[in-house]
Amino acid sequence: MGVFMAAYGAGALSSPLVATQFSQLRQWSFHYLTSLGVALINTAALIFVFRLKRQDECLAEIGISAEPSNASERNHFRQIFALKDVHLLASFILFYVGAEVTIGGWIVTYVIDVRGGGPSSGYISTGFFGGLMVGRVALLWVNEKVGERLALFIYAICAILLEIIVWLVPSLVGDAVAVAIIGTLMGPMYPIAMNHCGRVLPRWLLTGSIGWIAGSGQAGSALVPFMAGTIASKAGINALQPVLVGILSLMTMLWALVPKSSRRYD
Q: What pLDDT score does 71 carry?
A: 42
> 47-85 pLDDT, tens per residue?
998 888 876 777 677 666 655 555 444 577 888 888 899
Please give the Cα distance from 226 to 94 (Å, whole number): 13
Torsion sign, CA atoms 203, 204, 206, 212? negative
According to the CATH classification, is domain 73-257 in 1.10.260.40?
no
Phi-psi map region of 147: left, alpha, beta (phi>0 left; psi -120 to 50 alpha): left
Q: What pLDDT score does 65 carry?
A: 64
144, with CB counted inside 10 A (0-12, 13-18, 19+), is exposed
User: Is 50 exceeded by the pLDDT of residue 28?
Assistant: yes
Looking at per-residue confidence, does 1 or 86 come out higher?
A: 86
Q: What pLDDT score does 66 carry?
A: 59
- Under a CB-based contact definition with an 8 Å cutoff, are residues 255 and 156 in contact? yes
- Under a CB-based contact definition with an 8 Å cutoff, are residues 255 and 160 in contact? no
> 77-114 pLDDT, tens per residue?
888 888 899 999 999 999 999 999 999 888 888 998 88
User: How far, in whole angstroms, is CA 58 from its chain's centroid?
Assistant: 25
Q: What pLDDT score does 67 carry?
A: 56
Sequence letter at residue 106: W
Question: Domain segments of the chain: what residues?
Answer: 73-257
Please give the Cα distance from 4 to 136 (Å, whole number): 9
- Under a CB-based contact definition with an 8 Å cutoff, are residues 139 and 184 in contact? yes
Cβ neighbours, 10 Å, residue 40:
10
- Under a CB-based contact definition with an 8 Å cutoff, are residues 184 and 137 in contact? no
Looking at per-residue confidence, does 73 or 240 come out higher?
A: 240
- Tell me the C-alpha to C-alpha distance, in Å, between residue 260 and each of 15, 195, 199, 239, 257: 36, 12, 8, 35, 9
